[in-house]
Structure 1
Amino acid sequence: MSGPDLEALFRAAGVRGWLLAADIDTGREIGHGADEPVPTASMFKVPLMVEFCRQADAGLLDPASRVTVTGADRVGGPTGLSAMLDDVTISLRDLAYLMIAVSDNTAADVLLARVGMEAVNAMLDGFGLTGTRVLQSAGETNSSMADDAGHAWPFLEPEDLARLRVLDPPRTNHSTARELARLFGLIWRDEAASPSSCAWMRGVLNLQVWPHRLASGFPYDDVAVSGKTGTLPTLRGEAGVVEYPDGGRYAVAVCTRSFSTALNQPRADAVIGTAARMAVDHLRR
């Protein structure tokens, strides 16, 4: 499998693509543009979850402690607390679940305020993930798009794209395919936090409800796919882990940017699973 193979696959789907797939246990890997910075969109919620767990391990917060989320706390989003109308009292741990399983923006921002952006970035530095940064909350991301475009998203025109800070990695939450995959490897090897916290993170990541990207490449009852998607105008991505019944486990990150501004792009979603499957098959051969 070569770089041109993946390049042709991505272009046929109408996207640019970046990929890293790695055998979690042997370190063998295959990449395509794996070290190029890319916006992470909602995938920033994974390092936030890791730092939340590390603070719980250190006794800096109680994951069972409860907070009340009010209308003033809500930020835009179609899922979870973001879509609710009434005040909700919920534990910090369940906020973390919602921000991963259904990509709840409000849950993420309430948790980020408690954990601290500086702490998340310090954790990333400690793991040598210096190309990954959390610079904005979900609410700040949404606001910046409206400010830059001059009107509400997701209805954007092609001329709006050049003005969007969220599409410029240095000015938004960003990472690389390699570092996203490395972070998942740390979680699966019990190195990101305590073994019990890593086990909890693996369980939550396996509960993500979206089947149309990474999981679409592995439609088998005995293959487990866990992950976190990210979506912004023209951007679609997912990072996660694919586990086979023979014990093989592979951290995969696929990020794409489409040539079209259309909201619904099933080919762009599907190519994430197809590219991941090609890469994992290559590693398993």
Structure 2
Amino acid sequence: MSVEDDIAAVFADAGCRGWLRAELVGRPGPAVDLGGESPVVAASVYKVLVLLAVGRAFDAGQLDPHATVRVVPRECTPGPTGLSLFSDPVTLSWLDLSRLMITLSDNAAADVLLAAVGLDAVHALIDELGLAATRVVGGTAALQKQVIHDTGALSLGEAVGLLASNNAIHESAAFDPAYTTATSAADINRVLAGIWTDAVASPDTCATMRSILAQQIWPHRIRSAFPYADVTVAGKTGTIGPIRNEVAIIAYPDEVPIAVSVFTRAARSDVYLPIVDHAIGRAAHLAVTALRREANVEKLPVYDRTVSDVPQPISR
């Protein structure tokens, strides 16, 4: 069996469909691919694109990263974490808003930042990088409105409750990449690789983005498969309804970093599905281990940031 077969079995055992691509950063070489070019629902993974658009606005002088903005919680996009849960208005910098958007997956911070840079800037970024499967139709508030509309609910809380029930099927355009914000594992790997090789923004801004992505707090998906103090896992989760995703850069000491993006859709709609979270980590571990073995990464010097060749899938 190939590593792709092993990964497919992991997804099947967890009761979900899965898409994955893993490849070396900044070097030609093998890749592990399971539907990596297919469009998938991005969920909060789209915030990586917002982060990059904001970083470019910093570089262009359109936003001062250390200038402050006042955010009023009652006016914010709701979310399970971050600013919308606060009791009082808060003032913080554009840079720290970016940090909250990634590290906590703060919906409010994401929508404030998207409004500041504009959706057109994100679309231009997608076109420039040639992200053929990627489309951002709006921020988190737009996505929430779609879910409320499709379920016939009167509030976001009611919609979430309906979607989490396994007693009835509640479909939404938010779960279909043809109608909602979408990407592919290959596209997001390209974005992450660009950040890690200083190819998509200034070196200082790319370094800041790498630092922020490495500060993500969630340990239950890809990080769960790499519980080592000397292994860096820098990435972004995405969750909505049956959709559970994570994209990341895995960096072992003195080795070439590996980009791995995993997207899933579960058969069940429970709010918590730890078996699927574990499968995402397991699939990532299988892919990264195969790449380290097949490409003999341990013997390669640290990558050259000027290299941007696209790896080819492993053939077996």
TM-score normalised by L of structure 1: 0.96
Choose the corresponding residue for 1:50, options 49, 52, 57. 52
Give the secondary-structure state (helix, strand or coil) at the position aligned to 2:190: helix
Tell me the residue number matched to 1:240. 248
Q: Which residue of 2 aligns with 1:137?
A: 139
Tell me by how many angstroms 1:75 deviates. Answer: 1.2
Percent of aligned positions that are identical: 42
User: Which residue of 165, 170, 195 maps to 1:161?
Assistant: 170
Q: CA deviation at 1:126?
A: 0.4
Partner SS state of residue 220, structure 1? coil
Alignment of 1:267 with 2:267, yes or no, is no
SS at match of 2:160: coil
- TM-score, normalized by length of structure 2? 0.87
User: Which of structures 1 and 2 has the bigger CA Rg?
Assistant: 2
Partner of 1:256: 264
1:154 is paired with a residue whose SS is helix
Is residue 114 of structure 1 aligned with residue 116 of structure 2?
yes
The alpha carbon displacement at 1:51 in A equals 0.8
Instruction: Indicate yes or no: 2:16 matched with 1:15.
Output: yes
Letter in 1 for 2:17: R
Q: How many correspondences in the alignment?
A: 284
Secondary structure of 1:76's counterpart equals coil
User: Aligned-pair distance for 1:66?
Assistant: 1.3
Partner of residue 192 from structure 1, selected from 200, 204, 211: 200
Q: CA deviation at 1:131?
A: 1.6
Equivalent residue runs for 1:34-73 within 5 Å: 34-73=36-75
Measured against aligned partners, the alpha-carbon deviations of 1:96-126 in whole angstroms (never above 9, x if no partner) come to 1000000000000001000111111101110
In the alignment, does 2:219 pair up with 1:211?
yes
The one of 151, 157, 179 equivalent to 2:187 is 179
* Residues in 2 aligned to 1:169 and 1:136: alpha-carbon distance in whole angstroms: 13
Taking a change above 3 Å as real, the CA distance of residues 221 and 72 of structure 1, as seen in their structure-2 partners, is closer
Partner of 2:308: none
Per-residue deviation, 1:202? 0.4
CA offset digits 1:171-223 (Å, max 9, x no partner): 21110011111111111011121000000000000000000001111111111
Is the Cα contact below 8 Å between 2:38 and 2:133 reproduced in 1? Answer: no
Shift, 1:83, TM fit: 1.1
In 2, Cα distance between equivalents of 1:67 and 1:26: 40
SS of residue matched to 1:236: strand
Q: CA deviation at 1:67?
A: 1.2
Q: What 5-or-longer segments of structure 2 have no aligned partner?
A: 294-316
